[in-house]
Amino acid sequence: MNPLKFAVIGLGNIGKRHVQALYDTANASLVAVCDIDEAKCISDSKIYKEIEFYNNYTNLLANSNADIVCIASPHGLHAQIAIHSMKAGKHVIVEKPMALTTDDCDEMNRVSKETHMKLFVVKQNRFNKPIIATTKAIEENRLGKIFMVQCNVFWNRGEEYYAGSDWRGKKDLEGGALHTQVSHFLDLLIWWFGDIREAKSIIETVHHNIEIEDAGVSSLKFNSGVIGSLSWTTCVYNKNFEGSITIIGEKGTIKIGGKYLNNIDYWDVKSYPMPLDIEFNDQVKDYGRYSGTSLNHGTMLREIISHFTKKRKGVVEGEEGERTVRATELIYASV
């Protein structure tokens, strides 16, 4: 088959991760990149050699022959860029969060149906090895009735993380820590236990000079009847401490831990020992003072390519991605 042609809009940390994943993925060809800061391309000229560069995404949409656009812009711009891209005849892969409001998500989904352009949302942590093993146990009902879940996102983001950006920490462009640091965790909870129907929350800005929260706790109830707790902060001293999900069920307990859901910290399931053939080798990106989540963008891209070439299902599309945004709105509104 001819490689699918990709463009990347937004060349920050996550946009560059898309670029690298595209270079490493068979049947994918990177044909164009876009960022308002041309220096991001010039400083990495070896990577972007012979790739079309645009500093305005509307010019990219008008002139590039890309089949699929990867959107890694500030969160508040996701909706407008995605909608313009689909109207220009491009399929879209949008980073989390899909958008900052469910109204924007609804419009993105409407345009996707109207234009017959696919809309995918990046949820690469679904491909983490511990997540795959836990999903299998849940789908096979190995845990029996699930009673409760605890999720902790205890990470560090220093002042320079916000001060060195023109959009992080801004309400209209980042939205909140739930959108940035917690979105992948919420996606997994909703995937496993259903949409959140009740939330009671306390949310504060306790340490950073920013417009959004840097700490919060929430009590949750899911449509399945599972109750849960969610605690999150970007105030941990010095470096990331923990990113974990603990599931307590009738026939077992599982804790997925490490700093980025990249390890099984505890597995005690009746007549179902932890699979021994799993290699917990999910890599994470080092950004200096902190690390990012798993480097499974390549796995996600391969699944999306298979979606087009082999009609394979399994990647997150727009209506599924919207569920996380709806849950985030509910939690923020429950303060």
Q: Is residue 212 part of a domain?
A: yes
Q: Supply the CATH number for residue 10's domain.
A: 3.40.50.720
Question: With 90 as the cut, is the pLDDT of residue 113 above it?
Answer: yes
d(CA 328, CA 330): 5
Is the pLDDT confidence value at 22 over 70? yes
Q: What is the pLDDT of residue 48?
A: 66
Which tokens sit at 141? 């009902």
- Please check the confidence at residue 2 and state whether its pLDDT lies above 90: no
Across the chain, mean pLDDT equals 92
The structure's pTM equals 0.94
Q: Is the pLDDT of residue 254 over 80?
A: yes
pLDDT value at position 315? 86
What is the mean predicted confidence (pLDDT) over 195-203?
Answer: 98
Q: How many structural domains is the chain composed of?
A: 2
Q: Which of 56, 88, 121 is the last residue of a domain?
A: 121
- Determine the pLDDT at residue 310: 79
**Residue 108 and residue 139 in one domain:** no
Checking if the pLDDT of 287 tops 50, the result is no
Q: Is the pLDDT of residue 286 over 80?
A: no
Average pLDDT of the residues in 142-158: 98
Concatenating the DSSP letter of every residue in 153-219 gives EE-B--HHHHHT-SSTT-TTTT--HHHHTSHHHHHHHHHHH--EEEEEEEEE--SSSSSS-SEEEEE
Q: In which domain, by residue range, is 279 found?
A: 125-293
